[in-house]
Amino acid sequence: MSAPVAESQAAIAAGSQSFAAAAKLMPAGIREDTVMLYAWCRHADDVVDGQELGSTPVAQGDPAERLARLKAETLEALHGSGPISPPFAALRAVARRHDFPDRWPLDLIDGFAMDVAGRDYRTLNDTLDYSYHVAGVVGVMMARVMGVRDPAVLDRACDLGLAFQLTNIARDVIDDARIGRIYLPGDWVEEAGAKVEGDIPSPELYAVILRLLDAAEPYYASAFAGLPALPMRCAWSIAAAARIYRAIGTRIRRGGPEAYQARIGTSGAAKAGLALRALGDAGVSRVRARAMPRDGLWTRPRA
């Protein structure tokens, strides 16, 4: 095992249990590349936020300076040949092996720039634009690693990233608000007469959260339609990840506002059960493959 792979696996095991669980289902070569890609994405997010593995503060200084340094190091990874740190070495290996356009990694960094700038999200389209930049484009890059070249299938991969991010926003709405970040569409919040504050969502805010979870559902469904284009074990892994993330939304729906009294997630046993059910999803998608239009869905920018 190469050093970038080993260090990436260690980072993912510590920073994202859900992704680590899904990645185990992938075939070896693809698994290593997806883990390296995810490790760079996690590192890039942490650099901008001044954190390690999503929680521990490690950096000080101007976020804009960290963002500029991240972009410079990313471009060096994509085009240079000199020594670079492990996360960027991982990106270099994966991007060159799978012929990434520069736009994809840079789109992710542009998403982090939205956080640094404190962007105001007035509409669902604004929230979806942000979701593309921090998650949808990750789905696109992951799909390329899995061998996808068809732009229509890459759109489905983007849709899964959008669904994941909308679910994340719904889950983290209280924690995000504490650090001054509100990703819910502002017009929805105002229409509901809600305020994003407190430790538990008010009935008005909870209604907005449920509306966002409803908005994620067409993107989950669209992503499912893309499974037949993936190798079987990759389809299983992606279906497992989708079930694990959707389970977060289910817990929010069933638990009501009080669900926010503790971290909302799924246990290891629950993840295992969802992964088994996902095997059926992957198989059924091949037997009952059907065309599903994406009419009305937000669509990623094309180069």
Q: How many residues does the chain have?
A: 303
246 and 210 in a common domain: yes
**Range of weakest confidence among 1-5, 151-155, 281-285:** 1-5
Q: Can you give the CATH number for the domain in which 146 is found? A: 1.10.600.10
> Residue 246 is inside which H or E element, if any?
helix 232-255
What is the C-alpha separation between 131 and 182, in angstroms, rounded? 13
User: What is the rounded distance in angstroms from the CA atom of residue 53 to the CA atom of residue 38?
Assistant: 12
The reply to whether 112 falls in a domain is no
Q: How many CB atoms lie within 10 A of CB 168?
A: 18
Task: Indicate if the pLDDT at residue 9 is higher than 70.
Answer: no
One domain, residues 278 and 211: yes
The 8-class DSSP code of residue 98 comes to: T
**39 and 89, same domain (yes or no):** yes
Q: Is residue 108 part of a domain?
A: no
Domain that includes residue 247, residue range: 119-302
Asked, for residue 48, whether it belongs to a domain, the answer is yes
The 10s digit of each residue's pLDDT in 154-175 is 999 999 999 999 999 999 999 9
The closest alpha carbon to 163, from 238, 259, 260, belongs to 238
- Asked if residue 113 is part of any domain, the answer here is no
Residue 107 is assigned to a structural domain of this protein: no
CB 20 within 8 A of CB 53: no
Domain boundary among 65, 100, 135: 100
Boundary of a domain, candidates 69, 100, 131: 100
pLDDT at position 54:
47
Same domain, 233 and 291: yes
> What is the longest distance spanned by two Cα atoms in the chain?
55
Whether 212 is in a domain gets the answer yes
Domain co-membership, 74 together with 133: no
Alpha-carbon gap, residue 150 to 158, rounded angstroms: 12
DSSP 27: -
Query: Does one domain contain both 65 and 202?
Result: no
pLDDT digits (tens, 9 = 90+) for 12-50: 655 556 666 677 889 888 999 999 999 899 999 988 887
CB-CB contact of 115 with 46 (8 Å) = no
The reply to whether 158 and 26 lie within a common domain is no
List, for residues 171-224, the tens digit of each pLDDT value.
999 999 999 999 999 999 999 999 999 999 999 999 999 999 999 999 999 999
* Same domain (yes/no): 234, 158: yes
Number of domains in the chain: 2
Class of residue 106 by CB neighbours under 10 A (exposed 0-12, middle 13-18, buried 19+): middle
- Please indicate, yes or no, if residue 289 is contained in any of the structural domains: yes
Q: What CA–CA distance (Å, rounded) separates 72 from 69?
A: 5
Task: Tell me whether residue 106 is in a domain.
Answer: no
**Is 276 found in the same domain as 133?**
yes
Give the 3-state secondary structure of residue 166: helix
Cα 68 to Cα 74: distance, rounded to the nearest angstrom: 10
Q: What whole-number distance in Å separates Cα of residue 191 and Cα of residue 211?
A: 12
State residue 47 phi and psi, 5-degree precision: -60, -45
- Do 82 and 148 lie in one domain? The reply is no
264 with 126, same domain: the answer is yes
Of residues 238, 229, 242, 219, the one with CA closest to residue 286: 229
pLDDT band for 253, please (50, 70, 90 cuts): very high
142 plus 69 within the same structural domain: no
Report how far Cα 36 is from the mean position of its chain's Cα atoms. 15
Torsional sign, CA 16, 22, 25, 26? negative
